[in-house]
Amino acid sequence: GQQLNQSPQSMFIQEGEDVSMNCTSSSIFNTWLWYKQDPGEGPVLLIALYKAGELTSNGRLTAQFGITRKDSFLNISASIPSDVGIYFCAGQRDNAGNMLTFGGGTRLMVKP
Amino acid sequence: GAGVSQTPSNKVTEKGKYVELRCDPISGHTALYWYRQSLGQGPEFLIYFQGTGAADDSGLPNDRFFAVRPEGSVSTLKIQRTERGDSAVYLCASSFTGGWGEQFFGPGTRLTVL
């Protein structure tokens, strides 16, 4: 089962709002990755983080690698309708080869 | 440019049958990964190839699952005696070297076992 706890599980957004989600683990990870998945498609890489404390941006997206190496967060600024989808965090550990361990996902939906 | 491709996109089979799922990685990527994604969950690791060899198959759930990559490019995931619990989306990913970091995913094959 999943070893990364991702929150919130789901959230509604209104266009223009900032969005924040995070991922925590009881184990240390040496790489953190954030992916977005749309229905019927595979996950698409958004941001990769390689160093504890690292803060990286990709357009309106900003992600940070926690200093303890046990957490990461993703912020989306000024959300737009196409931000809707499921966001996954994923980590790689020292002693687990090259496999990615995924969180359970955060589903972003648009407020009616 | 061409990304990771997977065929078929959908496969419906009956319990007990054998299925093969194919993955064509990004050209030049030496590392290839298979993951399985159940409804409402994140992907879970199955197996990792570096070149032609399976470097880590610790995620394969049992001996009904097997994967090959005979020429270090295309890979086939094979499932024998399928069970209803095998129903899921099977995702393939590739990366340039297989080291730390970026894995690029295909669109997946949705397998339904009736």
Secondary structure of chain B in HEC code, one letter for each residue: CCCCEEECCEEEECCCCCEEEEEECCCCCCEEEEEEECCCCCCEEEEEEECCEEEECCCCCCCCEEEECCCCCCEEEEECCCCHHHCEEEEEEEECCCCCCCCEECCCEEEEEC
Alpha carbon of residue B37 to chain centroid: 10
Q: What is the mean pLDDT of residues B76-100?
A: 92
Contact B55, A97 (CB under 8 A): yes
Contact A105 B33 (CB under 8 A): no
Q: How far apart are CA B34 and CA B96, in angstroms?
A: 15
A18/B96: higher pLDDT: A18
Q: What is the mean pLDDT of residues A102-110?
A: 94
Question: Which pLDDT value is given to residue A11?
Answer: 95
Question: Which pLDDT value is given to residue A1?
Answer: 53
**Rounded to a whole number, what is the distance in Å from the CA of B78 to chain A's nearest CA?**
20
Question: Which pLDDT value is given to residue A2?
Answer: 55
Q: What is the mean pLDDT of residues B14-20?
A: 98
Task: Kindly report the number of other CB atoms within 10 A of residue B45's CB atom.
Answer: 23
Q: How far apart are CA B37 and CA B35, in angstroms?
A: 7
Q: How far apart are CA B6 and CA B46, in angstroms?
A: 16
List the structure tokens of B85. Answer: 């619990």
**Rounded to a whole number, what is the distance in Å from the CA of A59 to chain B's nearest CA?**
18
Give chain A positions within 8 Å (CB) of B91: 42-43
**Rounded to a whole number, what is the distance in Å from the CA of A46 to chain B's nearest CA?**
10
Contact B100 A102 (CB under 8 A): no
Question: Which pLDDT value is given to residue B13?
Answer: 98
Contact A104 B35 (CB under 8 A): no
Average pLDDT, chain A: 92
Question: Which pLDDT value is given to residue A7?
Answer: 96
Question: Which pLDDT value is given to residue A3?
Answer: 76
Contact B89, A19 (CB under 8 A): no
Q: What is the mean pLDDT of residues A52-68?
A: 96
In this complex, which of A4, A30, A102 lies closest to B100 when CB atoms are compared? A30
Q: Indicate whether B2 pLDDT > 90.
A: no
Alpha carbon of residue B5 to chain centroid: 11
Give chain B positions within 8 Å (CB) of A88: 42-43
Question: Which pLDDT value is given to residue B60?
Answer: 96
Q: How far apart are CA A105 and CA A110, in angstroms?
A: 16
Residues of A with CB under 8 A from a CB of B: 1-2, 4, 6, 30-31, 33, 35, 40-45, 48, 50, 88, 90, 92, 97-105
The SS3 call for residue A6 is strand
Contact A100 B43 (CB under 8 A): yes
Q: What is the pLDDT of residues A77-91, one digit of tens each?
A: 999 999 999 999 999
> What is the sign, positive or negative, of the torsion defined by CA atoms of B39, B19, B15, A100?
negative
Q: What is the mean pLDDT of residues B46-66?
A: 93
Q: What is the mean pLDDT of residues B36-40?
A: 95
| Residue type at position A62 | T
pLDDT more than 90, % of chain A: 83
Q: Indicate whether A95 pLDDT > 70.
A: no
Question: Which pLDDT value is given to residue A96?
Answer: 54
Q: What is the mean pLDDT of residues A48-59?
A: 94
